[in-house]
Amino acid sequence: MGLVKKTIQITIKLFSGLHSDSGIGGYDPEEGVVMMVKAGTRVRKIAKEMGLPDYRNLAYFVGGIKAGHRARLKDGDELVCLRPSAGG
């Protein structure tokens, strides 16, 4: 008997021009992109699949809490991706 892999729904929101880098046309930052992925998928896999540049140097937040690119996602998570910046 094989293992059943659960599929979960996540929402990805891209800021700092990342939607342009990923080639998503008509991107709405209020809605983001809804994806179905395997439960436990890591942030870095989503970043790679979306074509985000140099995913190790981006900032990620899951549910409003800072997360690393190795964080695992669960059903209903909202993943926010942006380029870190500084200044005033």
**Residue 32: CATH number of its domain:** 3.10.20.30
Residue 66 lies in a domain: no
Digit-coded pLDDT (tens) for 9-63: 999 999 988 888 777 778 888 899 999 999 999 999 999 998 888 889 999 999 9
The pLDDT-based confidence of 81 (bands split at 50, 70, 90) is very high
d(CA 7, CA 10): 10
Q: Tell me the CA distances in angstroms from 76 to 5, 9, 31, 83, one per residue in order.
A: 16, 6, 14, 23
Query: What is the span of the domain harbouring residue 39?
Result: 7-59+72-82
Q: What is the pTM of this model?
A: 0.86
